[in-house]
Amino acid sequence: MVPRVVFGRGSFNQLSEILAPKRLNISAPFIFLVDDVFKGNSWLVSRIPLSYNDKIIFISAAQEPKTSQVDELVEGIILDSKELPSGIIGIGGGTLLDLAKAVSIMLTNKGETKDYQGWDLVKNKAIYHVGIPTISGTGAEVSRTTVLTGPTRKLGINSDYTPFDQVVLDSELTKDVPKDQWFYTGMDCYIHCIESLNGTFLNTFSQTYGDMALSLCKEIFLEDQLNEKEAQEKLMMASWHGGMSIVYSQVGVAHAMSYGLSYLLGTKHGIGNCIVFNHLEEFYPEGVAIFKKMKEKHNITLPQGICADLSDKELDIMIDVALSLVPLWENALGANWKKIITRKKLKSLYLKM
Amino acid sequence: MVPRVVFGRGSFNQLSEILAPKRLNISAPFIFLVDDVFKGNSWLVSRIPLSYNDKIIFISAAQEPKTSQVDELVEGIILDSKELPSGIIGIGGGTLLDLAKAVSIMLTNKGETKDYQGWDLVKNKAIYHVGIPTISGTGAEVSRTTVLTGPTRKLGINSDYTPFDQVVLDSELTKDVPKDQWFYTGMDCYIHCIESLNGTFLNTFSQTYGDMALSLCKEIFLEDQLNEKEAQEKLMMASWHGGMSIVYSQVGVAHAMSYGLSYLLGTKHGIGNCIVFNHLEEFYPEGVAIFKKMKEKHNITLPQGICADLSDKELDIMIDVALSLVPLWENALGANWKKIITRKKLKSLYLKM
């Protein structure tokens, strides 16, 4: 779990104070990986504390993060600096947070990023790394994974060294998120809860976190009691608790199938989850019904027919990626999941989307 | 926050696996501080993994933990072992957990324990320390304090080095807790929630944890839907979440006054909180009403008149201890708390108890 968390509106201003004691020496910079939507946004960028050789790298989150992208970032940082950095600070959504986690791991572990996709393959402690979400829902700020698309699969680097050493939860940073993005990413959290709470891996630890996040999601997306600031704060906490819920259990059908979409079509995680979940009534009847209510209430129109023109070969690739995520299916459907989830079944589901 | 947590019925059996990689060398023992109610209880004691010079120290929790007791334990450990221990493992309720935290701090920090009562006075990182609760409610497993009675006050050592490095949450260890003790310690959690949720320091972080713990307490102590095992697991999670809620806010009137009782009369924390809270309708009307329902449902009879025979001098000592806890009063009643809480007011409240 993340050992240090600062929470509060405006707490981003404490960043300088948080980082100062962690500077190893003046040749070991802090590297800030920042979502490039903030390029030229002085409200945020001017408050990033830069000293000595510290550096901001702006990165587009238009595509899902890739293992090759991590390798390039790490190479650039090593070439650019005499010493290993004092810390890596990710500022952005799930993509930036996952990149920050992966870069901090790969700065101290040899070889290529793709070799670490899986469970507990990381040998050395990562560089000190800090996560600062600017959009809520993914749970990347609290998870022990960093989900990356590699040459052969979309899979996380799951390890004890992956979680952030420090997280700053400042809901003010989420104030300019576009509405569609807000909904899709918020639904990532909602879907975490539904998949965790309806999974066979559920335990009391995960259940209490999942219950709490689910009730916050309903309050935010179905009721009209909250002002904007309250809704932003509560969604930030929902993301946190939803993430905690799956740390000790697992996600399910929507995530397994959405990884297939991402791998083949590059569909972003949040919207991909929504496209898939919309067709999962038979697995999560109540969860999908509430999802549809939320979608309607916020006038969200999902893309349709995104798989309609795919060849059988392409569908097979998606199906392979989805089927490879064994723990997700086991959590969703139990040990005998293969009897329910056949290639034919997955194909028919994908073709509906 | 606690960086590593294992949760699950029977997870105590993983202790050997958890500790093995933390052994510094064969001359650096693990020291287990264990509640002496488990002395001779082979179901638990035989599962404590002992190697080399590892040692179990049984300690009575009949009295609240003292700074002098910590000093003695630390001296004994240093005299007894060639090297500093590899780790301190506390197995018990709040008393044992607080002792384990304090001993691990004082093994690496000079001087006397009483000098560290306060906020952020600890200079050096503590010895690796593990908390294993055998009763639920105090939140000591998750808090960044260790509350000790010193020569002049009852106050915590609050620091970044206080929280456990590892916690094991195995609800099976709570199965033999006597009913009264179960109620009093559970109410510690309930009162944490009421004080946090009704405090002026409340923020969304604390609120979501407090809401969750409160709803679990109501389920456990007011409803009849849970079997024994579920109730034990849920109370363990309620304690955790209730503790998290006050990490980022503060407790209130009941804790301030109960510290006075403990200091003068040695009243144990759980029952002391109940004795005080029972008379706090004017501060927490709804919370006290529900508390009384719970008390009635479980046929709990609280001691009465425990302050009736105290001299004015003794009452003054209690009042001094209570009034010294400024952050608790500020949280409970706001910046102008001194207008509401006079010495006379406190005296009249204590005399009711």
- Do A306 and A338 lie in one domain? The reply is yes
Highest mean pLDDT (candidates A50-59, A150-159, B147-156): A50-59
Q: Which residues of A touch B160 (CB under 8 A)?
A: 4
Query: Mind giving me the DSSP string for A26-57?
Result: TTS-EEEEEEGGGTT-HHHHTTS---TT-EEE
Contact predicate B79/B163, CB 8 Å: no
Supply the DSSP symbol for A201: T
Shortest distance between the Cα of A71 and any Cα of chain B, in A, equals 28
**Euclidean distance between CA atoms A191 and A214, whole angstroms:** 9
pLDDT of residue A176: 97
- Do B191 and B154 lie in one domain? The reply is no
CB distance B212–A216 less than 8 Å?
Answer: no
The residue written with tokens 């029952």 in the block is B271
CB distance A205–B1 less than 8 Å?
Answer: no
Q: Which residues of A touch B248 (CB under 8 A)?
A: 7
pLDDT digits (tens, 9 = 90+) for A117-137: 999 999 999 999 999 999 999
CB distance B3–A5 less than 8 Å?
Answer: no
Contact predicate A341/A333, CB 8 Å: yes
> How does strand B118-119 pair with strand B154-158?
parallel
pLDDT of residue B238: 98
CB distance A204–B234 less than 8 Å?
Answer: yes
What's the Cα-to-Cα distance from B233 to each of A45, B34, B170, B222, B239, rounded to whole Å?
45, 21, 8, 16, 10
Buried b (16+ CB within 10 A) or exposed e, B73-94: bbeebeeeeeeebbbbbbbbbb
Contact predicate A155/A147, CB 8 Å: yes
**Edge-to-edge strand ranges of the sheet holding A4-7:** A4-7, A166-169, A129-133, A87-92, A30-35, A55-59
Residue A223 burial by Cβ neighbours in a 10 Å radius (0-12, 13-18, 19+): exposed
Quick one: pLDDT band at residue B346, thresholds 50, 70, 90? very high
- Do B166 and B314 lie in one domain? The reply is no
Quick one: pLDDT band at residue A270, thresholds 50, 70, 90? very high
Interface mutation vs chain B, best among A189, A208, A220, most B CBs within 10 Å: A208
Domain boundary (B149, B174, B199) is at: B174
Shortest distance between the Cα of A266 and any Cα of chain B, in A, equals 34
Buried b (16+ CB within 10 A) or exposed e, B12-29: beebeebbeeebeeeebb
CB distance A216–B237 less than 8 Å?
Answer: no
Domain boundary (A174, A207, A233) is at: A174
- Do B183 and B318 lie in one domain? The reply is yes
Q: What average pLDDT score do residues B157-176 get?
A: 97
> Which residue in chain B is spatially nearest to A230 when comparing CA positions?
B204
Domain of residue A233, residue span = 179-351
- Do A329 and A238 lie in one domain? The reply is yes
Supply the DSSP symbol for B323: H
Task: Identify the CA nearest to A238 among candidates A190, A191, A195, A176.
Answer: A190
Contact predicate A222/A124, CB 8 Å: no
> Average pLDDT over chain A, rounded to whole?
96
Q: Residue A8 sits in a domain of what CATH number?
A: 3.40.50.1970
- Do A201 and A94 lie in one domain? The reply is no
Domain boundary (A119, A140, A174) is at: A174
pLDDT digits (tens, 9 = 90+) for B4-37: 999 999 999 999 999 999 999 999 999 999 999 9
Supply the ipTM of this predicted assembly: 0.90
N- to C-terminal Cα separation, chain A: 36
Longest dimension (CA), chain B: 59
Amino acid at A131: G
Q: Which of A143-152, B126-135, B290-299 has the lowest mean pLDDT?
A: A143-152
Supply the DSSP symbol for A125: P
**Euclidean distance between CA atoms B131 and B89, whole angstroms:** 6
Share above pLDDT 90 across residues of chain B, in percent, rounded to a whole number: 97
- Do B30 and B131 lie in one domain? The reply is yes
pLDDT digits (tens, 9 = 90+) for B177-212: 999 999 999 999 999 999 999 999 999 999 999 999
- Do A168 and A195 lie in one domain? The reply is no
pLDDT of residue A82: 86
Contact predicate B136/B232, CB 8 Å: yes
pLDDT of residue B248: 85
| Residues facing residue A157 across a β-bridge | A118
pLDDT of residue B321: 94
N- to C-terminal Cα separation, chain B: 36
- Do B244 and B133 lie in one domain? The reply is no
Q: Which of A4, A208, A233 sits opposite B1 (nearest CB)?
A: A4
Q: What average pLDDT score do residues A217-243 get?
A: 97
Number of domains within chain B = 2
Q: What average pLDDT score do residues B229-248 get?
A: 96
- Do B27 and B42 lie in one domain? The reply is yes
Quick one: pLDDT band at residue A151, thresholds 50, 70, 90? very high
> Is the predicted pLDDT of residue B154 greater than 90, yes or no?
no
- Do B168 and B184 lie in one domain? The reply is no
> Is the predicted pLDDT of residue B81 greater than 90, yes or no?
no
Q: What average pLDDT score do residues B246-261 get?
A: 94
List of residues 6+ apart from A339 with CB closer than 8 A: none
Quick one: pLDDT band at residue B82, thresholds 50, 70, 90? confident
Buried b (16+ CB within 10 A) or exposed e, B223-256: eeeeeeeebbbbbbbbbbbbbbbbbbbbbbbbbb
Quick one: pLDDT band at residue B85, thresholds 50, 70, 90? very high
Q: Residue B295 sits in a domain of what CATH number?
A: 1.20.1090.10
Answer positive or negative: Cα dihedral of B100, B104, B109, B110.
positive
CA angle B244, A105, A41 (to 5 degrees): 75
- Do B104 and B196 lie in one domain? The reply is no
